[in-house]
Every structure is written in structure tokens, then in C-alpha cells.
A and B are shown apart, each in its own frame.
Chain A
Amino acid sequence: MNRKTAALGLLLVLLAVGVFAGGLMTWHHDVQLYGGQQVELVGCQESTLVSCDVVNTSAWSELLGVPIATLGIPFYLTMMALALLAIRGRDEARALLIAGGVFATGYSVFLAYISLHELNYVCLWCMRMYAINLSLLLLPWVGGRPPKPSFDFMGGLAGVYAALLIVSVGGEHAYRSSISHSSGVAVSSTAVKLDRDPTGPAPALSFQVTTEDGNARTLTLEPDDAWAGNKDAQVAVVMFADLECPFCKRTSAEVGRLMQTYGDRVLFVFKHFPMDPTCNAGVKNKLHRSACVAARAAVCAQRQGRFWAFHDLAYKNQHQLGDDALRAYAVEVGVNGEQFDTCMRSTEADAVVKGDAAAGAQLDIHGTPRIFINGKLYRSGSTAEVMATDLETALGASAADAAAHAAALREKVDSAPPIPADVPAQRSVKFGDKAFQIDTFEAAVHDGKAVSGKHEIPAFDVSWAEAKSACEASGKRLCTEAEWVSVCQNAAAVDDNHNGELADDMIEGTAYPYGDYHDPQRCWDGKSSDAFRPVYTGEMPGCVTPTGVYDMTGNVEEWVGDSTATAVLLGGAWDTSEDHARCYRRNDSFGAGYSSVRTGFRCCASAP
């Protein structure tokens, strides 16, 4: 055996290892990201520097939605075919091996840079593949400079590669579908508004804008912008937003309040500004992994007249914006699934998103949300009352009237009926075919017994076992997770993916006990300063479900579960941030013996 054959033989073995590594990494990537499981990758022991979990599930681990490890498989197989041909005497194959090596090594350098500087972890299997790629660049040189390959040879090779690529990507897609954690996202709710969007293109309007960088620019509406409200209005509220951005979710609630009041007199427009450079050249860092695909999905829903319904459902379910979930939300609001799929595969939706993002970048937008009211800029945190003042002025109201009307908007939202003096201690509820009773208030404990009533000190610093025994001492039991979530969201909770948890599923009812959007006046949450403590029961009359159950989110976390294995804390506490103190807040960090000043409970009972 001469040196050339030996080098090519060694390369053949290394490439076979590359195929194996590609398969292994594809499996790991798909199971971790889409299978909802934690799996340990052999040969990649985690440490303070090494984490295949971090690297192989990062935003950089996919290219056009396909794991890069999967793309490596047909590449290495094609290179193996070339190495075999070279061993059998087709010397021109070595030139193509080197060309493949140049490409693969260059891409490896890029990925290694990302790994070290963006992700701060390295992945040992990735490094093995980098080494194989480098050997692909070097080993074919043994035996001297190869002859130039013919076009026929390269054409044939391209055909082989294309065929292998189709098989590999198809295989990965089929595997991902078979294990997909969210493939069971089911159409299980009828709580979503099914209103159709208004028909016709967005009106042609332009506004002079002073950008946040102080530049004078023009904001122009495009015919394919998502719009609502009065088409003939000369006053417009234009929101640049990202469906994965929590601040946008909050601000969209404020804009929603404006739409309710001013929808007959004002035009409302939504433009996409996803915080991901993949579809937005105006941002540098990928802050939101699903922002681009969610924006495309919204455009595809809009193509079928369902933008606003999709917008509401996507914001409500911001905790889950995977591909399958987005499709389920689209179908849920009345979109035809097949047409949606076709749209998502096309470049059309992507072009709309990129167009919106470019328009935003031209207006010096650096973050989301940004709202322009007749050209005046508002940022995150702008309330409906603040924006209403300018809207009123633009609509011709005097300064005094504008202030009064804006104040009235606030008054309408803040008012919550007081809790009646004779409020019952329990509520009888029924969701689906399950009827049961639940305490109206978070439980207090007197003489070891759970008590539900107004102006009690809610029990805290209790473990699951202590909560259980207090409920049982008063002839009741702890609620199950499904019971608790059903009451909180006011709809039967469905475990769409059958994993025993509800927090990762589509919200069937409302995100908070009182509605879909957080209202800081309602529940005792978001109070993270040391100056705050839990409040007495019944202190927050607006924090109530339609069935009359108080304080389900915020104040103290509540133990649920009928065994130590199912014991979890729900709803968040007084210091839980507003985005997390919601019906789907699930704290399972610690076991059933855990107690802290945050841990309380309420009891349930079977229907009498």
C-alpha cells in the first residue's frame, strides 16, 4: 500500500466517524429540542467549558430549520464515495475532496468562533467533526497535486449529493415528527376570538417621524400591512413588534385597549420587527429564537384573514412558539392548515417580514415594541392612557378634553367590584365533565385546619405534606394540577402532549384569572422589592376568576397534587414577575418537603 492509498484509507475511516457523529448529533439535537427529553450524549462529558447540550441546541445548530449535524451526513457520505473512487484510481476525486475540505474547514472555523464567543461552551463531538473536516483538507494532498476534475464528474457527484441530502433531511424530518413533543398540540379550545380581519389592503398613508436617533424619516404604510380599525382615518397607531417579546405582549394589551375605544375613529397597524438577524438585518443579536418563524406564521394567518386572532393567541401562548405550536394556533383561529403550510414553505411570508423589519431599521428602531401615533414615537411601557391623550389631540379634542377622556379610559379598567361580605368560602365549579369545589381564597390555617375566608393571613411556609394534612383536617383535599389550572384559566385544562404537565401546553382559557393580558392593578404580583410581603386574603378584588375564586396568581404559590410525585407549586407569588405570575406558572424545582415564605395552598373537595 502506498502512502496515498494509506492516507485516503485513513480519511475514509475518519469520514465514517463523521457520518456516525452526524447521526448521533442529529438524534441528540432532535430529542433535546423536539422530544422534550434530557438525554446524555456519550463522549461529551459536561464541564464548566464543555456542553454539547448548549451548543447542539443553540440557535446556530440549525440551518434553514435543518440541524447542521444532519447536513453533515450526506456531505460525509459523498466525501466517502470520493475517497473510495480516489483509492480505486480516480485521482481527480482528490481535488474535490480538497474542495470539500476547504468548505468544511472554513465553516468549522466559523462555528468554533460562535461556540467560543457567542455560546461560551464547546462541544466535543463538534470538535471531532472540525478535526475530520481539517483532515479532509489535508490528507488528499498526500500523493501530490491532483488533476482538475471534469465537469461530468462534478455533475455526477452533485447528483449523488443531492439524493443523499434529500434522504437525510427527509429522514430527520420524519424522525423529528415522530418524537415531536408538541406534535400533540390539539385544537381543544373554543375560547379564541374567531373574528376575521377587515378585508382589503392597508390604506396608503405616510407620516413624518423623528426617530429615536433624532433623524427625520418617513413612515409609510404598505398594502400588505396587518391593519384594523377605521380604514379612512387620518390618525394611525403603528406598532413594530416581535411576537416572542414579553414587552410587546404587554404593550399589545395596551394597544388592544385603545382599539376597543378608538377602533371606529383610528387606524391600527402591526408591523413585524423580530429580534433575530435571520430575518431582520436591523438587529445584531439573536434574542428570540422563534421570533422569525412566528412572524412568518402571522403573515400566513393574515393571508387567510386571521391575523388579529392569531396575534392574540400567539401572544397568549408566548411560552410555546415552536413550529407545530404555531401551526396549531393558526388552525385554532380558523386558518386552513394546508394553505398555511404552503405559505410557510414559500418565500412570500419571509419577504413580508423582512420588508417590515427593513422599514423599522430605516426608522432607527433598535428594540421592541415601538409605536408611532401619527409619527410620534412611544416605547415599551407606554400605557393606553398616555397614548390616548395624543390620540385625542390628533382627533381634534382640546387639551382638557383629551386629558379627561384618557383618564376615563384608566378609570374603566381600574374599577373592580368589591368582594361581597357574604362571599361563600368555596365555589362549586364544573369544567368538562368534572365537577368539584374549590376554596374561594388561599387557605389560612387555624388549629391545624385549612380555612377559606376574607381577611385571613394566607398560610405560607408550608410544605406539600403540611398543606395536605391541613386540607384533610377540614374535610377537604388538595386540588389536582388540572383542577387548579382549569379554575384559574376558566376552561378545562387539556394535557395536549400527555406528559403529565399543563404548563407546556396551549392555554385553553385565559393566561391570567381575569384575562389574557397582565394588569398590574389586579393581582398581588411583580412586587420584588424587600419592602413587600404577601397580603391578607381578599385584598385584591380584581384578582378573580369568572367563577369567583380569588388570588389564584400572585400572593403565595399554591401547592397542588395528590402525591409527592405530582406535588408542584402553581401561580407564582407576590414577588414573581408579571410575565410569570400566571395560570401556567409551574414551579417544580424542589420536592414536596419544600417550604418557604412563598409556599401556600388552597383546598378542593369533590362535588357534594
Chain B
Amino acid sequence: MWWWMLAASAWAAPEMIPADVFEAAKQPDAPTKIEFHMADGTTQHLTDHKGRKLVLSFWASWCGPCRKELPALSAWAKENPNVDVIAVNVDRDRNMADRFLRAVPVELPIAYDPDANALGGYDVTGMPTMFVFDTKGALVFRKVGFNEAAGLTEILTAVQGAK
């Protein structure tokens, strides 16, 4: 009998960590912990935007879809002045970000996060990643990737649905 038990244990699938532990780690950090270092040298916190809807777009120079997403978001921001939009760059080398910005037309407030401190709190795994916060600072929508055909329709819907 014992060899059957041995065989069964040998064939048993490796035990994954509990799903609730894993899913809990995906929740973003408390918004107050996160700050952004803006291109003009100032520092902003998420709480600075309370009372207004906020779109955060994380991007990197090595991200191909960001070349399409940021100009589209830039145009969208112009049409939606009641929403704050910040483009957060996560390149480790700021020169790479600046080079990207010289090539791609972006008229958005730019924040730099070279040490990924802001990025770290959000469990972001790919670029671009966009978040929508409501007027109370609660995260109401997140999206990874950018589909040129779909454009920003999902973001628009999320912003319209946010309180």
C-alpha cells in the first residue's frame, strides 16, 4: 500500500501559495504613501488631487505602445480639463525618458519615478498601465496595455463612472 501512497505523492501537483494571500498582495498601497517628483522639481501626493478625478499613466521609453498611448492621452486631457492627468515615467535613466519626450508629442504633466517608488506601490507589471482615481482618491479602474483601435474609450467610461 505504501508505494501507492508514495506514487500518489510523487505525482501530486506542487502546492501553490493560498489564493487569498496572493490576491491580497495585488491591492495597491494606501494612496497617501505615494508621491510624485514632477519635472518642474515639485513633489505631489495623491491626496493633493482630492476633489478631482485623476488619471495616472505609467510609461517607459522602452515601451512601444506608450508611443501611441501618450499622444492620445495628451489630446484626451485637453478635451477633459476637469480631470487631472499625470504621465509617470519609470525609466531608471532620465535621459532615456527625455529623449522619448523629444520624439513623441506629449503635453501632460510629467513625473519621474526612476527608483520605481510610486510604481512599486501599485503592483504594476507591464507598460503602459493606466489608473483612474475618483474624487475621494479611491482607485476605481486600472488597465495594462494600450489598444490603438479601442483608444481611450475604456478610460473615458471609467472616468465618467467615477464619483
Interface residues of A (CB under 8 A from B): 38, 40, 45-48, 50, 457-458, 460-461, 463, 524, 532-536, 539-540, 564, 588-598
Contacts and interface: CB of A to CB of B under 8 A. Distances in A.
A589 B68 contact: no
B19 A533 contact: yes
B3 to A, nearest CB: 14
Interface of B: 14-19, 21-22, 25-26, 60, 62, 67-68, 71, 90, 92, 96, 99-100, 102-104, 113-121, 123-125
A596 B123 contact: yes
Nearest to A418: B10
B16 A532 contact: yes
A535 B17 contact: yes
A535 B15 contact: yes
A524 B96 CA distance: 34
Contacts of B119: 590-591, 593-594
A476 to B, nearest CB: 22
A50 B113 CA distance: 27
Most buried by A among B90, B100, B120: B120
A48 B104 contact: yes
A47 B71 CA distance: 11
A590 B116 contact: yes
8 pairs of A and B residues whose beta carbons are closest in the complex: A46-B103, A593-B117, A594-B116, A591-B116, A539-B14, A591-B115, A461-B25, A590-B116
A540 B125 CA distance: 25
Q: Which of A564, A589, A597 has the most CB of B within 10 A?
A: A589
A588 B115 CA distance: 11
Nearest to A46: B103
Given A535-B15, A590-B116, A594-B116, A48 B67 contact: yes
A564 B115 contact: yes
A124 to B, nearest CB: 12
Given A45-B102, A590-B92, A593-B116, A536 B123 contact: no
B103 A47 contact: yes
A47 B104 contact: yes
Tell me which of A589, A594, A598 has the highest count of chain B C-beta atoms within 10 A of its own C-beta: A594
Contacts of B104: 46-48
A535 B16 contact: yes
Given A48-B67, A461-B123, A597 B17 contact: no
A592 B22 contact: no
Given A47-B103, A48-B67, A594-B120, A536 B125 contact: no
A596 B114 CA distance: 16
A591 B99 contact: no
A596 B19 contact: no
Contacts of A40: 99
Nearest to B117: A593
Given A592-B115, A594-B116, A536 B99 contact: no
Nearest to A455: B15
A394 to B, nearest CB: 31
Contact of B17 (A536, A589, A596): A536
20 contacts: A40-B99, A46-B103, A47-B103, A460-B22, A460-B25, A524-B14, A535-B16, A535-B17, A536-B16, A539-B14, A589-B60, A590-B90, A590-B92, A591-B92, A591-B114, A596-B125, A597-B22, A597-B25, A597-B26, A598-B125
Contacts of A457: 17-18, 21
Contacts of B113: 591, 593
A591 B26 CA distance: 19
A593 B60 contact: no
Contact of B15 (A460, A539, A596, A597): A539
Contact of B16 (A48, A534, A589, A597): A534
A535 B13 CA distance: 10
Nearest to B123: A596
B16 A591 contact: no
Given A45-B103, A533-B19, A598-B125, A592 B14 contact: no
A282 B88 CA distance: 47
Nearest to A536: B15
Given A45-B103, A48-B67, A540 B14 contact: yes
Contacts of B96: 38
Nearest to B18: A457
Contacts of A46: 99-100, 102-104
Contacts of B99: 40, 46
B10 to A, nearest CB: 8
A591 B114 CA distance: 6
Contacts of B14: 524, 535-536, 539-540
A35 B67 CA distance: 26
Interface centre among A536, A591, A592 (most CB of B within 10 A): A591
Given A48-B104, A539-B14, A598-B125, A593 B115 contact: yes
Contacts of A45: 102-103
Contacts of A533: 16-17, 19, 22
Contact of A588 (B22, B67, B92): B92
Nearest to A535: B14
Contacts of A540: 14
Given A590-B92, A591-B117, A597-B123, 6 more contacts: A460-B22, A463-B116, A536-B17, A593-B120, A596-B123, A597-B22
Contacts of B71: 48
Contacts of B17: 457-458, 533-536
A53 to B, nearest CB: 10
Contact of B123 (A458, A593, A595): A595
A38 B61 CA distance: 12
Contacts of B102: 45-46
Contacts of B62: 589
A435 to B, nearest CB: 32
A39 to B, nearest CB: 10
Contacts of B25: 460-461, 597
A590 B60 CA distance: 9
Contacts of A532: 16
Contacts of A595: 120-121, 123
A409 to B, nearest CB: 17
A597 B24 CA distance: 10
Contacts of B120: 463, 590, 593-595
Most chain A CB neighbours (cut-off 10 Å) among B17, B25, B100: B17
Given A47-B103, A461-B123, A590-B90, A534 B115 contact: no
Contacts of A50: 103
B149 to A, nearest CB: 15
A220 to B, nearest CB: 45
Residue among B104, B118, B123 with the highest chain A CB neighbour number at 10 A: B123
Contacts of B60: 589
Nearest to A575: B125
Nearest to B27: A461
